[in-house]
Structure formats: C-alpha cells, structure tokens
Chain A
Amino acid sequence: AQSVTQLGSHVSVSEGALVLLRCNYSSSVPPYLFWYVQYPNQGLQLLLKYTTGATLVKGINGFEAEFKKSETSFHLTKPSAHMSDAAEYFCAVSQVGTYKYIFGTGTRLKVLA
C-alpha cells in the first residue's frame, strides 16, 4: 500500500532563508509524486510533480524537489523564503492504475520577518 510521511507539521524559517520541507513515501511500484500548496480556506494548488525522467523537478514560485529513489524521498526546497510562501504544503503519491492520490498530513510553513 502507498503512504506518505511528512516530517514536521510546523516549520518556521526567516525571510530569505532556505526552505526545506521533507517528504518520504512508500510505494511498491514507481510512483508519481506531487507537492501541493494550500492557502487558508482554499483548495490545493499544484506546485510541482514528478512522473518520469529528470529527478530534479522545478515548479512554480521558485520551488523545486528531487526524487531520490534510494531514499524514497521527495523533499521540497526553495533557496530564499518569501513572506507569501506562508501556507500549508502537502506531499502526495499516486500510482498509474490505482486512481488514488494519497496525501501526507501536511506541513504548515511560517515565514518570519
């Protein structure tokens, strides 16, 4: 069965500092991996996705993530945090043919001035 673990339900960084949000997955077959962002009382917006090919994936708003099969990880990074990055971030996994997206419990990012 698939599962997703996000380490740290709350992360605080200073404005301009590196953002690192951790995601580890469990999947018996090569997965599709996603990062979504959610602002208060809104739906989820896709930041980036990995399906096949290049393992370093670039997304919107300066975010990127690297698929590391050996570590079963898909950590999200951004070199310099901006106040507007404050939101909740969800990692998700799916497999072709399963029709399901399994989400982690989310990480709330706080950006300090």
Chain B
Amino acid sequence: SQTIHQWPATLVQPVGSPLSLECTVEGTSNPNLYWYRQAAGRGLQLLFYSVGIGQISSEVPQNLSASRPQDRQFILSSKKLLLSDSGFYLCAWSEQGNTEAFFGQGTRLTVV
C-alpha cells in the first residue's frame, strides 16, 4: 500500500534562517506531488505541484521554492525565512489522472 512521510512534525526557526521540509511517498511510481500551506482561517493554499522529476510549477510568488530530486521525493525550501512563512505545511500526492489526493501529517512551522 502507498504511504506518505513528511518531516519534521514541528519546527521553530528564527527569521532569516534556511528551511528544508522533506516529503517522500512509498508504494507508487510517478505520482503527482503537492505542497500546501494552511494558515489559520484561510484554508489550504497550493504552493507548488510537480508531475515529474525536475518539473515544478509554482502557484504563488513567495519566499519558498520546491524541488523534486527523485521520483517520490519532494522538498520545500527557503534561503531566508520570514515571519509570514509561519503556518502548517502539508505534502500530498495523487495518481496520474486526478483521483483523490493523499496527505501527509503536516509540519507546523513557527518562524520567530
């Protein structure tokens, strides 16, 4: 069966520090991969999605970037965090063909 792993679960980082959040999927190949951010009262905002290795689409201009170095690995990064980067970050995957998306357990990022 397929599983998705996202880490760390919580992270407290100072303003200006770098960020790396990692997500891996097991039990499937060539998945679509997604990074969402959830801010209080604002629902889920799609940040990045990827339909293949090295193929990244950005939905909103921001301080973050994403990479997909391997088929089932998706990384969210920042060179210098801002206070506004605080939030709950969710990684997700779906099969090609757009049935449901499956979510990781999320990372609570607090920038101080």
Chain A contact residues, CB within 8 Å of chain B: 9, 32, 34, 36, 41-46, 49, 51, 90, 92, 94-106
Contact = CB atoms under 8 A, between A and B. Distances in A.
A95 B41 contact: no
Contacts of A98: 98
Contacts of B41: 9, 105
A36 B100 CA distance: 10
Given A41-B108, A44-B90, A99-B51, A49 B100 contact: yes
Interface stretch (B13-21, B42-50, B68-76, B79-87): B42-50
B24 interface: no
Interface of B is mostly: strand
Given A101-B101, A103-B36, 5 more contacts: A41-B88, A42-B105, A44-B92, A46-B102, A106-B43
B99 A51 contact: yes
Given A42-B106, A46-B100, A49-B100, A105 B42 contact: yes
A103 B43 contact: yes
